[in-house]
Structures are given as C-alpha cells and as structure tokens.
Amino acid sequence: MSACVFCEILARRAPGSFVFEDEACAAFMDIQPVTEGHVLVVPRRHAAGLADLSPEEGGRLFRAAQRVAAALRASGLPCEGVNFFLADGEAAGQEVFHVHLHVFARHTGDGFGLRFGPRYGRRPGREELDQLAGRLRAHLA
C-alpha cells in the first residue's frame, strides 16, 4: 500500500469516481465536496507540491481543469461560475501531499466564500509594490 491516497485511487486500489484521464493526469470527484460537482485534478506521477511538478505536468493539469470546468458548466448542475483552488503546503491548507487542483461549481447562495486576513484592507503604496515585485523578480530564473 502506498501512503498516498491519490496514488491509491489512481492505481484503482482505492475507490474513485473518475471524470477524466489521460497519460499525464486524472480527475475524480472529491469525497467532501464544497458544492455539488467538486472535482480534483491530479498528476499521474506522485508530486507532493508545486515545486515537484514539471512545467509540462503543470500545463497538462491546468488544461484538464479547464475541460472539467467546461463540463461543469454544460452539465446541468447548478453552475453559474467555477473556482480553481490549489493549496501548496500545509500553511496553505494542503492536506493530501500529492498536488491537486480543486475545480468546483459555484452558484449564487452556495455559501462558499473566502475569509481575508486582517491586513487585507490595507493598500500598500506603489513604492512598496515595486520593491516587492523586484524582490520576486530576483528569484525568477
């Protein structure tokens, strides 16, 4: 048995309700949906976090998620909009350490929302934004 529940689902050793599969990734229903029609898109290869995913795998993951989003909109399920959500790291809310992109249907009154931290209302000045941008640019290859 693998320690990773998503690898187990991909290997068909644990149950999964599959929506999509190709050689790079797969999509299956979340067992604890935010709304009706909540899908997880995962790479086939075990990758714990975003940094472990190749750019190609990331691209394939996003493309699959776009197709799932279009299917949600066409499905007849309550779907006025779609959210993508990816938690990278425990502090970001990642619970299963095999990269997964949540794709779920949204509709008015579904009760889902984001809670912002206490710094949210504050608007940094341009100088601070430029300084932060420079700091990040220095780390882009």
Give whichever of 7 and 19 is closer to Zn ion, judged by the CB atom.
Answer: 7
4 sits near Zn ion (criterion: CB under 5 A):
yes
Please indicate whether residue 100 is annotated as part of the active site: yes
104 interacts with Zn ion by CB under 5 A? no
**In angstroms, what is the minimal distance from the CB of 46 to Zn ion?**
4
- CA 106 to chain CA mean position, Å: 15
- Shortest distance, CB of residue 88 to Zn ion, whole angstroms? 15
In whole angstroms, give the CA distance from residue 101 to residue 26: 11
Binders of Zn ion in range 43-72 (CB under 5 A): 46
Rounded to whole angstroms, how far apart are CA atoms 98 and 44? Answer: 10
The residue whose two tokens read 């693998």 is: 2
Nearest Cα neighbor of 41 from 53, 25, 56, 24 is 25
Query: Which residue ranges make up the site for Zn ion (CB under 5 A)?
Result: 4, 6-7, 46, 98
